[in-house]
Structure 1
């Protein structure tokens, strides 16, 4: 409270049995003092037994995280749909000048195929979703955590053995439910990744067959 002079009542953080003292602080580096505009004790509010809430007002600079560029990929798996496959076949033949037999220059042909795929099937956005540490949470986990927080607050206000046992039991229950929810979420993620890989492989196989003339002209990967 050196740089923000307050009344005695707004500096006392612990009060019990007629004794008052200042034992709770908010620490910061000296270089960040200019960012702090106020610091005081909220009278009547407590975060732990007989400890008052210390509030600090500061201004922080928020730096935006630079997104890493991700390669945009053609959605070849759309060739699994008959209408997309037919449209791709027609556009590809138009791009190749209506030829029934593929040109001998494979590099040029491959580039035409890729460009047609980007136009007909579209490409991914190239954006990466922000990963959240709690993306696997479900309603059961959230309810358990909320009950644990309430039990912790109850134990802080009244430190009886009964409240302590209730809090410890809820703490163990939350750990079990978190472990189960996380395992289930990762299993589902693994299954979905395998399914996506299978669809992509089928899409690549479909590309090889999509421009077939008399049965001999098949695209090679």
Structure 2
């Protein structure tokens, strides 16, 4: 299972404009003419409540608009006429799709996907801005029209932006014929949010078409309520003079409870320690904003972090893809090493802190018993 949140469907061949719920997804589809065409969407229940509008333009183009936090996202599902159909039907499809895209405001996200029945080819000559050379096969006239459409609307073809083996580029197989005709397009200005795009081999969809999956990051802001926040005691401040102050306050509060029975005193010990820690050491709000709690960073961790930042700056200085190859590999390696060093240092610090807490708890019990004696 690839946790697909929104799926584009083509050749549904269902009559009417309806919706239904199946296996955790909402099915939305448009009317088809007889036993051909038809498009639709499968939207997970998680995002279906965010759908504010569904537009069925014809049996080849359908769109839905979602609101994710403060961001408006428009999904357009398409099924282009194949090469055997006449020029009139192809022109009608292109004109309709062009009008749909032109009506979308520049600040809105747009994702166009589906069977566009064109071959953009492996070479990107003349279209380097929207085709990064990770296509398949030879370009045909329909593929050239698709590239011209993408240039006109400043749309990038996700399939071509990630270098994959041929098996992860082929979207249609029929006998010995393998082609690429299914695509995902989105605005190039949002390119930094593209994570991956490839064909999932062996996935059960239909006999000839293969499942094309795009991994795209959306900045989703919660609309209702805030995320849960757990305040945390700043145990890292327990050092130096704070140790003596903390110990004296805990003993003083424990002495004040001597009039109670022993069982009640034992139960209140944890509450007493937490209350004193809140007032003596301070409490972190738990929010993501503000400086990180890095008291446990060792010298090794700091060196790894500085190395990662330097390798990233070196990567930004590269002017083209060829220059980015080695700096990019160096940055990925530095990133992995920094993450590994941080994890090891954090685990070590947690073990030391837990051991220290256990020792202090034992000392408090011993001090209390000595006082009673």
Once residues 87 and 5 of structure 1 are traced to their aligned partners in structure 2, the CA distance between those partners, rounded to angstroms, is 68
- What is the alpha-carbon distance in structure 2 between the residues aligned to residue 203 and residue 92 of structure 1? 14
SS at structure 1 position matched to 2:222: coil
Using the alignment, how far apart are the partners of 1:191 and 1:71 within structure 2? 22
Q: How many residues align?
A: 163
Q: Distance in 1 between matches of 2:366 and 2:310?
A: 52
Match of 2:181 in 1: none
Residues 67, 107 of structure 1: CA spacing in aligned structure 2 closer, same or farther, 3 A cutoff? farther
> Normalised by the size of structure 1, how large is the TM-score?
0.52
Q: 1:206–1:149: structure 2 CA closer, same or farther, 3 Å change rule?
A: same
Please name the residue that 1:62 is paired with. 221
Cα distance in 1 for partners of 2:126, 2:357 equals 68
Look up the match of 2:320: 154
Structure with the higher helix share, 1 or 2: 1
1:72 and 1:179 map into 2 onto residues whose CA distance is: 28
- Counterpart residue number, 2:269: 113
Q: Distance in 1 between matches of 2:188 and 2:277?
A: 58
Question: Per-residue deviation at 1:194?
Answer: 1.6
1:208–1:171 Cα change, 3 Å? same
Q: Do the aligned partners of 1:89 and 1:211 also contact (CA within 8 Å) in 2?
A: yes
Q: Does 167-176 or 194-203 show the bigger shift?
A: 167-176
| Structure number, greater radius of gyration | 1
In structure 2, how many angstroms separate the alpha carbons of the residues matched to 1:143 and 1:71?
Answer: 34
Q: Is the 2:233–2:277 Cα contact (8 Å) retained in structure 1? A: no
Aligned pairs (5 A) from 1:13-32: 16=126, 22-24=148-150
Contact 2:229 2:285 in 1 (8 A): yes
**Secondary structure of 1:196's partner?**
helix
Structure 2: where are the runs of 5+ without partners?
A: 1-97, 105-123, 128-143, 156-160, 162-186, 191-218, 295-300
2:368 corresponds to which of 206, 211, 215: 211
Q: CA deviation at 1:141?
A: 1.4
Q: CA RMSD in A?
A: 4.6
